Amino acid sequence: QLQLQESHPGLVKPSETLSLTCTVSSASISSVDYYWGWIRQPPGKGLEWIGSFYYSGKTYNNPSLKSRGTISGDTSKNQFSLKLTSVTPADTAVYYCARHPTYSNEFDYWGQGTLVTVSS
Amino acid sequence: QSALTQPASVSGSPGQSITISCTGTSSDISGYNYVSWYQQHPGKAPKLLIYEVTNRPSGVSNRFSGSKSGKTASLTISGLQAEDEADYYCSSYKTSNTWVFGGGTKVTVL
């Protein structure tokens, strides 16, 4: 059964860089059929797509993050990652990684999510 | 990037049917048949209910159904049950390889 597992950075200080990794089991991030994405959810609020990685190295980002987010993949480890720079308390959220097929675009498998708190 | 518009809350009695709307633009909902719906219980990850506007993944109850007309997609829950009390989110593919979610709808079973 496909599983996605986010890393747990926990607490990040304002102005620093938030780094997250998603480890994928029972599927390959090198598959031509899938994107691998990051979604976040601030406490008590809705879901926001952050960005996605494709096996070719192409990445897609939410314009609202103003280029603060960088997504990359490591096919040798079957992992993909998110780096979010210059964080503020507004970046406090549960961060999810998820898979979405290129041919149908839904987010079909999700990680359990990890809470990242931005605070000094 | 603007979120899709959903009502903040919808309620119904057990056994009733309710419908949640999701309004977008020509760049997302009306431009593509890539609308999906998710159910989220407190403290849990979202669960896929509907994809490509009307399709249900294996294992999802046929009490959940999706549709679309113009810039508005809808999720209908028939035979409402206590376990359906949760938050529901729509999502759509958007022009230029981006994706957008709705603001979420809290469903209350009275």
Query: Are residues B51 and A63, on separate chains, in Cβ contact within 8 Å?
Result: no
For A106-118, write each residue's pLDDT tens digit.
999 999 999 999 9
For residue A33, the model assigns a pLDDT of: 97
Query: Are residues B101 and A47, on separate chains, in Cβ contact within 8 Å?
Result: yes
For B16-39, write each residue's pLDDT tens digit.
999 999 999 999 999 999 999 999
For residue B32, the model assigns a pLDDT of: 97
For A30-86, write each residue's pLDDT tens digit.
999 999 999 999 999 999 999 999 999 999 999 999 889 999 999 999 999 999 999
For residue A77, the model assigns a pLDDT of: 97
Distance from B39 to chain A by nearest Cα, in Å? 12
Q: Measured between CB atoms, which of B52, B99, B102 is closest to A104? A: B52
Do residues B90 and A28 make contact, with C-beta atoms less than 8 angstroms apart? Answer: no
pLDDT at B1 over 90: no
For residue A23, the model assigns a pLDDT of: 98
Query: Are residues A47 and B89, on separate chains, in Cβ contact within 8 Å?
Result: yes
Rounded to a whole number of angstroms, the CA Rg of chain A reads 13
pLDDT at B2 over 90: no
pLDDT at B54 over 90: yes
H/E element, B106 = strand B105-109
- In A20-33, which positions are buried (b, 16+ CB within 10 angstroms) versus exposed (e)? bbbbbeebebeeee
Nearest chain B alpha carbon to A111: B45
Cβ neighbours around A119 below 10 Å, total: 9
